[in-house]
Amino acid sequence: MANQKALIYNLRDVDKTSVNLVGGKAANLGELTSIEGIQVPAGICISTDALENLVLASPVINSLIAQLSSVQPADKENIAALSSEIRKALETTTIPPELAEELTLHLDRLGASDAYAIRSSATAEDLPTASFAGQQDSYLNIIGLGSILQHIARCWGSLFTERAIIYRMQHGFEHRKVRLAVIIQKMVFPQAAGILFTADPVTGNRKIVSIDASVGLGEALVSGLVNADNFRVSNGEIIGRTISTKQVAIYAAITGGTTQQSIEPQHQNSPSLTDKQVIQLEQTGRKIEAHFGSPQDIEWCLVDDGLYIVQSRPITTLFPIPAASDAANHVYVSVGHQQMMTDAMKPLGLSFYLLTTPAPMRIAAGRLFVDVTTMLASPTSRDIVIGALGKSDPLIKDALLTITSRENFLPVLIGDQLPSKPKSFSPAPVQADHDPAMVRELIAKTQASIAELKETIQTKSGTELFDFILEDLQRLKQFLFDPQSLALINAAMDASSWINQKMYEWLGEKNAADTLTQSVPNNITSEMGLALLDVADVIRPYREVIQYLRQATNENFFAGLDILRGGAESREAILDFLNTYGMRCAGEIDITKARWREQPTALVATILSNISNMEPGESNRKFEQGKVDALNKEQGLLNQLVQLPGGKEKMEETKRKIDLLRNFSGYREYPKYGMISRYFVYKQALLKEAGQLARENILTGRENCFFLSFQEFREVVRTRTVDHALIKERKADFKNYEKQTPPRVITSDGEIITGTYIRENLPAGALAGLGVSSGVIEGRARVILNMEAADLAEGDILVTAFTDPSWTALFVSIKGLVTEVGGLMTHGAVIAREYGLPAVVGVEHATTLIKDGARIRVNGTDGYVELL
């Protein structure tokens, strides 16, 4: 650790504990000097204190930096003006004499007439959670004290480039808290230079080293002036290479600075590295990675067969690998893509889901993944798993097929190692004479159990509450995996598949089951969307109530309603809705998410949209019209079938399947509704405990309990002590997880396997997806990532990342649906079919490729979206 009183330090005297003093880049260089066999050019570092002292002594610079705090990232004009003024002030300032004297002494020891690289090193740079790569400036081949002093000032100024300012704003770093040091390092003059990643930056595979290389200084490569040679290496073997045409290179100029030189034609396609040098680089990269304990992004220079490392920083873009208990190969499938909730979950939310599911789960970046390795390794279960997941998401299916086609990745199972038929993917036995009354019985049984739970949980507190919840979770599992319940759901799913297959085979009609599922009975989720239309009907006549809702807050949502004309009626209508559906919210599988009952303002935008876009009585009209459309479709199909050879038998069998479909497809939504209802009861009781802990000053806020696992929370209640540092760390981790995008499929090597749609005859420029609800519709795209911000007009097409049941409230206002995540039997697809909305799901990057307000055509029959 460096002596914190000096202003300049030798790189050999700093390490990872010196970040606040010398910045991330210099701290990492100091670490590199301690690794045996790693060569780092000699150098020094001007500490962060030097710039801080300079700023403190300048009222002008202080004032300009203060002004940045009131500017928004979108205000590019003001940012540009302030950036220019701050940089000018820093670059023209006189460097304090004591700093110049200390620098002179150090340069005399290193070689006063030698050439140096001058580089910035910020405290918010090269960190595990944010690289800040390229935010500050570097200068090469600087010769002489005067020029070095000038470029030190320029490095200081680079802390306030427009790009650096905006980046800090977007990532939540305060401008004054990011400090900057300056590295002065002896120049090396390489024959080749480049970047080495100890994990494949494209796929994330941790077992592959990727090396970009070019001749001369690495500046040509970093600046994009030349295309790099690329070498991919694994365990000492070069597994891929791309040799680019290199027409120019950058070299050091004799008088200082750099110069661009043309490469002779006969050398333009020569590799910049020999195979021996490539393997040497891989070995060096692995040694550095082992020292830092994580995948690294390394800058290197090759000088007369000597290898110098000039930078190493963590690769911050990699998705974490789900933890395994062994070193064997594993394949993980995202739960979020199945549950229509790819957001990061807090620890308590993860705990509850793990306590609820029987599947072998792993956690990474606040997301859940199912380990399907054993099921894929067995020929018996492989087809079942891939088939089931493929129905839900073709991109997952394609990714899994890619893995199963590889040699030696999956284990070879024999005898007792073979898994039993996977229960979660096995259809329950289907009886042709299922009685519709069974649905009503199952719903009544669930409701009675939840009512009993609400009553009993009131008598529990302390650790007894936690033990009671664990017991009740077993009852929840019995409801979720009840054989009779699963049989009804599978009966409807099988009927839907049968109808679609046979109607296409016999009549040439695609997706016939879609219309037949409109306005089915007992669909708690679609009923919710219609119920919110009824709420709008109550409020619509009262202008004062509408104005009140526009300004309402969650804390006092109902406080001022009663004094308004129509206020009492409106309050009663909203409360009736919340009594039935208030446990729902976006991302509801995470128990820590705020429920509508807790944040009723989440519904306001949808209620107001319904008031504006719908006529009174729309709920009943929409449901009745759906029934008519379904009945007409049924009659039309049966009339056509009876005219075919064997028509009577075909018609009778089809009629039986249609009855199964209509009687039981709505029930599919109910088990999850029951689960979320129970979750909310648990949550209310647990928050009561957390509130008591907060009053005793054990927790600093009751919602801090969300950053504890279920068992950790129980232990805090038992011991009345909590690890505040752990909660703080998890909050920081969660903030980072929120920025990450989970893959559908990832391996234990960290490789993200991306599937593709196998599709022919798509219109030019169309975005491929999975058609889950038939029909074609054109309209205005509304790209909405947050339900609370929904501003829809009649005829709009909703484009979003994913829709769970809570989004159903918006479906009554739209004419079509496009999502990035989804499958044939996920909630958005089911409700889209019931409402008769053309829908395409699984459209990769839809929310960025489709612009808000753009005109699009959604083809839910063939599964694509056109930008018009």
| CB contact at 8 A, 818 and 768 | no
Distance CA 788, CA 387 (A): 36
The candidate with the shortest Cα–Cα distance to 37, out of 288, 320, 245, is 288
DSSP, collapsed to helix, strand or coil, labels residue 37 as: coil
Q: Tokens 């490729």 appear where?
A: 849
H helices, E strands: number in the chain: 30, 25
Tokens of 271: 């590799």
Q: Which of 151, 330, 827, 845 is catalytic?
A: 827
Distance CA 184, CA 817 (A): 56
DSSP, collapsed to helix, strand or coil, labels residue 223 as: coil
Q: Which residues contact 599 (CB under 8 A, 6 or more apart)?
A: 554, 585
DSSP, collapsed to helix, strand or coil, labels residue 836 as: coil
B/e letters for 79-107, b = 16+ CB within 10 Å, e = fewer, are beebbebbbebbbebebeeebeebbeebb
Tokens of 863: 């599964």
Q: Where are the beta strands (DSSP E) in 217-305?
A: 229-234, 237-242, 248-252, 258-262, 296-303
Cα 667-670-673 angle, rounded to 5 deg: 165
In the residue annotation, 434 being an active-site residue is answered as: no
Tokens of 490: 């599978």
Q: Which residues contact 387 (CB under 8 A, 6 or more apart)?
A: 397
**Kind plus residue range of the DSSP H or E element containing 737:** helix 724-737
Distance CA 460, CA 454 (A): 11
What is the DSSP code string of 290-334?
HHHTS-EEEEEEEETTEEEEEEEEE--SPPPPPP-SSSS--EEEE
Using only the alpha carbons of the chain, give its radius of gyration.
32
Tokens of 431: 């009886």
* Distance linking the first and last C-alpha atoms of the chain: 61
Helix, strand, coil fractions of the chain, as percent rounded to 5? 50, 15, 35
State which amino acid sits at residue 761: N
Tokens of 842: 């699984």
Q: Please give the positions annotated as active site.
A: 827
